[in-house]
Structure 1
Amino acid sequence: MTQQRWEAVDEYIEREVLPEEPGLRNALRASREAGLPPIDVPPSQGRLLELLVRIHGAAKVLEIGTLGGYSTLWMARALPADGLLVTLEAQPHHADVARRNLERGLAGRADAPRVEVRTGPASETLPLLEAESVGPFDFFFIDADKPSNPVYLEWALRLSRPGSVIVVDNVVRDGAVADPGATDPKVVGSRKALELIGAEPRLAATAVQTVGGKGYDGFALAIVTH
C-alpha cells in the first residue's frame, strides 16, 4: 500500500460517506489562509469524533488543542442545545482564527451549543477549569503538544466522571511508538501516555492504528470505569 492509495481512499470515503458541510470546509480554508499549519484531523476522523460524542450522549466536552477549530466544529455538531464545549489553545493567533471559524460554522443554528475558546498554556487553563468547577466533562479530545500528553491525560482524569470517554490523538507516530529506543519528544510523550493508560485501573482502553492522507498514525480510546 502506498501513500497515494491511502489518499485516494480518503477522498472516496469523504465523497461517498461524509456530509457536505460548507461550514467545515470553510473553516479549513480560513485556517490555511491565516497561516495555520495543516495538521487538523482529517474529515473522516472529525466525523468519528462527532459520532463518538453523539453515541455517548455527551453534553459537556473538553478539547485540549484547538488549532483552527475544525475538530471543535465536528464535535459541536453532536451536542444538544444546552451542551457545552470548552476548547483550549495555547497560541493566541490560532485561538482568534478558531473563534471566527466557530462563529461562522455555528451561525444560523438555533440549537447550537455553547462553545468557549480559552487561550493560554493548558498548564494554566486546566487548573482554572478545576477551580471554576466547570467539569466534570463527558468527553475529552486531547490533540495538543505531544510531549505533554501524560499531563493532559492526568488532567482529563481529574476533570472526568465514571463513564467519561477520552480520545488521545496521534499516538502511533509512524509506528515509532513501538520503538523503546525512540528519543523524539513527541514519541516519548505518546509512549508515556499509553503506559499511563495501561497502568491506570480507572481506565478501560485500546489504541487504533490508522492510515490516510496524513500518513500512518493512530489514536487511543479510553473510558473511565470508576
Structure 2
Amino acid sequence: MGANESWNKVDEYFIGKLKLSDPILDHVLRTNRESGIPEIDVSPSQGKFLYLIAKMKGVRNILEIGTLGGYSSIWFARALPESGKVYTLEVNPEFAKIANQNIQYAGYEHKVEVIVGDALDSLPKLKERGVAPFDLIFIDADKTNNPYYLKWAMSMSKSGTLIIADNVVRDGEVTNEISSDERIHGIRQFMDLLANENRIECTSIQTVGSKGYDGFLMGLVK
C-alpha cells in the first residue's frame, strides 16, 4: 500500500469513527464538485480541527481569506456563538454564489458574510467598516499574495488573535529555494516575514491525509 493510499484510508477511518462529516457537509462538498469548484477545501478532519480551535478559543469574529464553496466557512460558523460572525473573502463571483447557497442550506446565512472581489481590495474596505480586530484569521487563498495577506492580518489583529495559514508545506516544496512555482515563492516570503515579526509567536504543523502532504502555519499575536 502506497503512502497516499494509506493516508486516505486513515482519514476515512477517523471520519467514520469520529463522525467528522454529516449530510449537510456532504451536500456542500457534492454541490461544490458538481459546480466545478476545485476540490481543494480542507478535509473533514482539518475542518473539525479548525472548528475545535475556534471553539476552544471562544472566538466571536473570524476573517477568512479564500472562501471557495464555503465548506470551511460553515465549520467556522458552527464554532461561533449565536452573535458571532465570519467574514469570508472570495474573488470568483461564481464560487461566491455557490458558497452563499451552501451557507444558506446549512442555516448559517446570519453568521457568514461572503464578500466578493479581490481580497487585497476587500481588506481595506472591511477594515474601514470597523469590524476588526478579529479573534481568528484564516489565510487560505492564492499563495502568491500570502505576504500581503499577512500584513493585513497583522493590521486587523489584537493581542490574542490567532492567525492560521493553510497549504504552507506543498509536498515539501516550501524548502525548494529554486522553485519555479510562484506559489512557493509567496509562501517562502510569508515565512521570511514571520521570521522577522516579533509581534507574533508561531509554529507549523505538517499534515498528511486525503489532501496529500501539506501543513498549517499557526501564530498567536502577542
Q: Does 1:224 align with 2:210?
A: no
Supply the distance in 2 between the matched residues of 1:30 and 1:73 (Cα, whole angstroms): 14
In the other structure, the counterpart of 2:71 is: 70
Supply the distance in 1 between the matched residues of 2:173 and 2:20 (Cα, whole angstroms): 33
Return the letter of the residue paired with 2:101. Answer: R
Q: How many residues align?
A: 221
Gaps of 5+ in 2: none
Residue 113 of structure 1: CA displacement?
5.3
After TM superposition, the structure 1 stretch with the greater mean CA deviation from structure 2, 87-96 or 213-222, is 213-222
Gaps of 5+ in 1: none
Supply the distance in 2 between the matched residues of 1:19 and 1:44 (Cα, whole angstroms): 6
Equivalence map 1:1-226=2 (5 Å): 2-106=3-107, 114-225=111-222
Kept in 2, the 8 Å contact 1:47–1:74? The answer is: yes
Helix, strand or coil: the match of 2:172? Answer: helix
Deviation beyond 3 Å, 4+ runs, structure 1: none
Kept in 2, the 8 Å contact 1:162–1:224? The answer is: yes
Helix, strand or coil: the match of 1:96? Answer: helix
1:41-90 deviations in Å (ceiling 9; x for gaps): 10000001100100111000000000000000011100000101100000
Supply the distance in 1 between the matched residues of 2:219 and 2:19 (Cα, whole angstroms): 25
Supply the distance in 2 between the matched residues of 1:68 and 1:19 (Cα, whole angstroms): 18
Supply the distance in 1 between the matched residues of 2:195 and 2:42 (Cα, whole angstroms): 25
Supply the distance in 1 between the matched residues of 2:151 and 2:186 (Cα, whole angstroms): 13
Residue 20 of structure 1: CA displacement?
4.1
Helix, strand or coil: the match of 2:217? Answer: strand
Return the letter of the residue paired with 1:50. Answer: Y
1:91-114 deviations in Å (ceiling 9; x for gaps): 00000000000000126xxxx852
Helix, strand or coil: the match of 1:116? Answer: strand
Supply the distance in 2 between the matched residues of 1:19 and 1:220 (Cα, whole angstroms): 22
Supply the distance in 2 between the matched residues of 1:199 and 1:24 (Cα, whole angstroms): 39
After TM superposition, the structure 1 stretch with the greater mean CA deviation from structure 2, 140-149 or 180-189, is 180-189
Supply the distance in 2 between the matched residues of 1:105 and 1:17 (Cα, whole angstroms): 20
After TM superposition, the structure 1 stretch with the greater mean CA deviation from structure 2, 192-201 or 167-176, is 192-201
In percent, how many aligned pairs have the same letter? 45
Kept in 2, the 8 Å contact 1:167–1:221? The answer is: yes
Q: Scaled by the length of structure 2, what TM-score is found? A: 0.97
Supply the distance in 2 between the matched residues of 1:166 and 1:142 (Cα, whole angstroms): 8
Helix, strand or coil: the match of 2:79? Answer: coil
Kept in 1, the 8 Å contact 2:90–2:116? The answer is: yes
Kept in 1, the 8 Å contact 2:60–2:85? The answer is: yes
Supply the distance in 2 between the matched residues of 1:93 and 1:189 (Cα, whole angstroms): 25
1:102-156 deviations in Å (ceiling 9; x for gaps): 000126xxxx852100000001100101111111100011100000011111111
Kept in 1, the 8 Å contact 2:14–2:20? The answer is: no
Kept in 2, the 8 Å contact 1:79–1:113? The answer is: no
